[in-house]
Amino acid sequence: MKSLPQLSCALALVAGVAGCRGSTSKESPIVGIRNMYDQPKYDVQEESSFFADHRTMRPLVEGVVATEQETDPRLAQGRLDDQSGYVLTIPAEVVNDPKVGGMERLVARGQARYGIYCTPCHDGTGSGNGLVRKRANAGGATAFVPPTFHQDRIRHMPDGQLFATISNGKNNMPPYAMQIPVTDRWAIVAYVRALQIARPLGTEATP
């Protein structure tokens, strides 16, 4: 059995600890290296007062090529070497890349990427009736109409043009060049073509 002084000390300790729980302080935190705690930075797309053009996101320095940057215009832009038009089909270098493993695997990869980036607007069949469109229409934004991939215009569009549309965006569609790597964009093109083959022309009305 504990003595009275011991009980008194124990109760005082418990009361002291309980009194500290949930307490706040207006004092500045003690930080050994202040500049590591409070770092000046800009958020993405935030206006900058440091640069003359006021852009936080800096463009590439002229003449500099990133290590992972594709420089072949056929692969990176979907355009012919002389910039006279778009490549008609997915470049063989993409399909035969050992990391890709052939057209079958390219289409499978495209299906996965399509499900992430394209289905919300274009739906799983490419008809243009995704959830984003349905919600836009419910909110009164009836002008938001993603195209169906099963219309004649897109069926006859060069693969390079479809790739460029994914890369650069069009109308309400944002560009995906920064989010989706080059090979994955070609994979999406391959999967869109597979969707078109699966649904013959004339079996679906254009929205």
Indicate if the pLDDT at residue 32 is higher than 50.
Answer: yes
What pLDDT score was predicted for residue 142? 78
Q: Under DSSP, is residue 166 helix (H, G, I), strand (E, B) or coil?
A: helix
- Phi/psi for 144 (5° steps) reads -80, 100
Please report which confidence band the pLDDT of residue 206 belongs to, taking 50, 70 and 90 as the band edges.
very low
Q: Is 63 left (phi over 0), alpha (psi -120 to 50) or beta?
A: left
Q: Buried b / exposed e across 19-48, counting CB within 10 Å, b at 16+?
A: eeeeeeeeeeeeeeeeeeeeeeeeeeeeee
Please report which confidence band the pLDDT of residue 56 belongs to, taking 50, 70 and 90 as the band edges.
confident
What pLDDT score was predicted for residue 172? 85
Determine the average pLDDT of the residues in 152-171: 95
| Distance between CA atoms of residues 109 and 94, nearest Å | 13
pTM over 0.85: no
DSSP state, residue 127: S
| Distance between CA atoms of residues 200 and 198, nearest Å | 6
49-50-53 Cα angle (round to 5): 75
Indicate if the pLDDT at residue 194 is higher than 70.
Answer: yes
| Distance between CA atoms of residues 195 and 117, nearest Å | 16
Give the model confidence (pLDDT) of 36-49 as tens digits: 666 777 887 889 88
Residue 175 has which token pair? 């560009």
Which CATH code, of 1.10.760.10, 1.10.3720.10, 3.90.1110.10, 3.20.20.70, is assigned to 73-198? 1.10.760.10
What pLDDT score was predicted for residue 59? 80
Domain boundaries, the chain: 73-198
| Distance between CA atoms of residues 121 and 127, nearest Å | 9
Give the model confidence (pLDDT) of 82-135 as tens digits: 999 999 999 999 999 999 999 999 999 999 999 999 999 999 999 999 998 888
